[in-house]
Amino acid sequence: MTMNILVAGATGKTGLHLVQELVDQGHNPTALVRASSDTTALPEGVEHRQGDLTDLQDGVCDGMQAVIFAAGSGGATGPEMTDKVDREGAKRLIDLARDAGVDRFVMLSSVGADQSGPTGEMAHYLRAKHAADEHLKASGLTFSILRPVALTDDGRGADVILGDKVDKSATAARADVAHVLAEAATTGRYDGMAQDMQSA
């Protein structure tokens, strides 16, 4: 069945892989983009829907069967933007998806975001991701949360490892992450699950 899927973060490194994966599978991805976004790398024919994660308007999820949050504020933007995008933006998108009757919400999170009190240089980011993940779990939406280890720009590998066997010091190729996100959104295979991930 062809699905209409909204992708937040569609023009990012992982998002571009994800949108192409959905197109290749015969689905209809819609890229949620800011007015200033560079959309030239998106596959030809992919629809755009304007929306800024720091100020999302009602209706951005209308007509969608699934929503994938693959956005991020980026490592150089500081704590304030992390809160606006990774925490509050994600939470707002979850609420809008629920209001629109979306069937499934898939969250790209991060290894370590299962902790409520993380420490270290990534602590602020992980707290934001944890808050978004918990909001999704409590939303009533059918959900899947993927928490990859450190991301690389490598292509698709032979396999992925999910769950308790993940080596948290390993890496995950963005292409592999995109493949699992697409699978989570379109098959329901990972419904109700929050799991770590690495490339094998």
Tens of pLDDT along 168-182? 999 999 999 999 999
67 close to 4: Cβ distance less than 8 angstroms: no
| Whether pLDDT at 33 is above 90 | yes
- For the segment 126-139, the average pLDDT, to the nearest whole number, is 97
Q: Is 174 helix (H, G, I), strand (E, B) or coil?
A: helix
pLDDT of 76 reads 65
Distance CA 187, CA 103 (A): 11
| Whether pLDDT at 99 is above 90 | yes
Q: How confident is the model at residue 146 (pLDDT cuts 50, 70, 90)?
A: very high
Distance CA 69, CA 40 (A): 20
| Whether pLDDT at 139 is above 70 | yes
Q: How confident is the model at residue 77 (pLDDT cuts 50, 70, 90)?
A: confident
Count Cβ atoms within 10 A of the Cβ of residue 46 and give its class: 0-12 exposed, 13-18 middle, 19 or more buried: middle
- For the segment 37-64, the average pLDDT, to the nearest whole number, is 96
Which residues, at least 6 apart from 47, have a Cβ–Cβ distance to it below 8 Å? 28, 29, 30, 31
pLDDT of 75 reads 63
| Whether pLDDT at 78 is above 90 | no
Distance CA 189, CA 114 (A): 20
Nearest CA to 194 out of 103, 130, 122 is that of 130
The average confidence (pLDDT) of the chain is 96
pLDDT of 116 reads 86
Identify the structural domains of the chain with CATH numbers, from first to last.
4-199 (3.40.50.720)
Nearest CA to 195 out of 187, 186, 177 is that of 177
Q: Distance between the two ends of the chain, CA-based, in angstroms? A: 29
pLDDT of 52 reads 96
Q: Which residues pair with 160 in a beta bridge?
A: 199
| Whether pLDDT at 22 is above 90 | yes
Burial 142-156 (b: 16+ CB within 10 A, else e): ebbbbbbbebbeeee
Furthest-apart CA atoms within the chain: distance in Å? 44
Distance CA 85, CA 74 (A): 10
